[in-house]
Amino acid sequence: MVTAQPSRRSVLSGSVATVVGAVAGFLAARRSGAAKSHPAGAAANAYGAAASGPGRVLLPVGEVPAGGGRILDADGVVVTREVSGTVHAFSTTCTHQGCTVNSVSAGTINCPCHGSRFDLRTGAPVGGPAARPLTAVPVVVRAGQVVEG
Ligand code: FES
């Protein structure tokens, strides 16, 4: 039985194409990581700040008002801070019908669509039609930054 052997030239050109593709993918990943608005120097891995999930730097804790919060639309996260200083974070997706919450005031995270309000400490619904809490996002404060944990 005779099998066709690949020529040396075809093996080499296939290897070159593989290396070029890998380099292009690496550069694209680096570029997309650099486009994020995370603070410089907050790299979570070799490619820069994590795009999502554990290690993602959200914002400096000093930018979250005590007894209030900050909505990070690009990250899909609302970060809140108790008067005592304890920081929490939740998904910005309202559990009623999926609108995006748009404010934090008077101790609640508020949805503009049908008026649901959620406790800024627990995410539990305290007013309006939503029956389920906002999805918690685990966070820690590390070196003055709120970071997904
Ligand atoms: S979608 Fe938020 S209150 Fe209806």
Q: What is the pLDDT of residues 81-114, one digit of tens each?
A: 999 999 999 999 999 999 999 999 999 999 999 9
Q: Which residue has the higher pLDDT, 58 or 12?
A: 58
Tell me if 116 CB under 6 Å of ligand 1: yes
Q: Are 60 and 146 in contact (CB under 8 A)?
A: yes
Nearest-atom index, ligand 1, CA of 115? 3
pLDDT tens per residue, range 39-65: 333 333 344 456 778 899 999 999 999
Model confidence, pTM:
0.68
Tell me if 99 CB under 6 Å of ligand 1: yes
Q: What pLDDT score was predicted for residue 49?
A: 55
pLDDT tens per residue, range 122-148: 999 999 999 999 999 999 999 999 999
Q: What pLDDT score was predicted for residue 19?
A: 34
The token pair at 61 is 């804790």
Q: Are 21 and 7 in contact (CB under 8 A)?
A: no
Give the span between the Cα atoms of 89 and 134, in whole angstroms: 9
CA atoms within 13 A on the CB side of 115: 3
Tell me if 130 CB under 6 Å of ligand 1: yes
DSSP E strands in 5-142: the ranges are: 57-60, 68-72, 77-81, 87-91, 103-105, 108-110, 117-119, 125-127, 139-142
Tell me if 129 CB under 6 Å of ligand 1: yes
Q: Is the pLDDT of residue 121 over 70?
A: yes
Tell me if 96 CB under 6 Å of ligand 1: yes
Nearest-atom index, ligand 1, CA of 116? 3
